[in-house]
């Protein structure tokens, strides 16, 4: 069995209180030693395999309503561009909304960062394109895919959540004056998503 001894410098106060230690360095681990670079490489390969699999499934499904692909003709598998068609019977109908997706090297154990590139009038989308969606934060699970994320964002366009708004003024408009909200959303869609 390999034993790794990890040495950490203890805070001087702790050392002063723990006189029975002969040194101010102590910590032992029973785990086999794995070089950080090897661990990083393993996560990197796992993320890359997963992203390639998701891309193949997206291309196979040919889902109506959204598309996604890596940047630079597939040379950067960790940076994708996506687009979502405005859902029918919503104020976003007829628009195409572009998104920027960045995957960390430990994907799928951490969620991707997804932002709107297209300006949109929506309470759950910040001025810089940030999206307030639980599955992109605390409700993320490794079983989720980018296809499910895009479907959830499309659903959010149909059904905003004013209780977790990034833009309170738009959330208030959505709650208090739906007709004006729809008019503004249609106007912004026409000006920014129908080019």
Which residues are identified as catalytic?
132
Q: What is the dihedral of CA 39, 107, 71, 92, to 10 degrees?
A: -170
Question: Measured on CA atoms in the order 63, 67, 70, 72, is the torsion positive or negative?
Answer: positive
Residue found by looking up tokens 């739906």 in the block? 178
Would you state the structure tokens that stand for residue 171, as one six-digit string? 């959330």
Those residues whose C-beta lies under 8 Å from the C-beta of residue 172, and which sit 6 or more positions away, are 162
What is the chain's length?
A: 195
For the chain, the helix, strand and coil percentages under 3-state DSSP, each to the nearest 5: 40, 15, 45
């Amino acid at each position: 069995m390999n034993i790794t001894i990890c040495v950490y410098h203890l805070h001087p106060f702790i050392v002063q209180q723990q006189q029975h230690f002969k040194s101010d360095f102590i910590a032992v681990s029973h785990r086999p030693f794995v070089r950080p670079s090897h661990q990083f490489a393993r996560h990197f390969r796992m993320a890359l395999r997963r992203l390639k699999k998701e891309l193949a499934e997206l291309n196979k499904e040919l889902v109506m309503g959204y598309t996604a692909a890596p940047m630079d003709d597939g040379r950067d598998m960790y940076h994708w561009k996506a687009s979502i068609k405005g859902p029918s019977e919503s104020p976003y109908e007829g628009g195409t909304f572009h998104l920027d997706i960045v995957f960390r090297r430990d994907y799928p154990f951490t969620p991707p960062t997804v932002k709107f590139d297209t300006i949109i009038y929506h309470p759950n989308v910040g001025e810089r394109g940030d999206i307030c969606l639980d599955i992109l934060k605390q409700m993320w699970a490794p079983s989720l895919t980018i296809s499910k994320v895009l479907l959830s964002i499309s659903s959010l366009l149909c059904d905003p959540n004013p209780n977790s708004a990034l833009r309170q003024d738009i959330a208030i408009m959505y709650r208090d004056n739906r007709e004006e909200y729809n008019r503004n959303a249609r106007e912004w869609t026409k000006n920014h998503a129908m080019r």
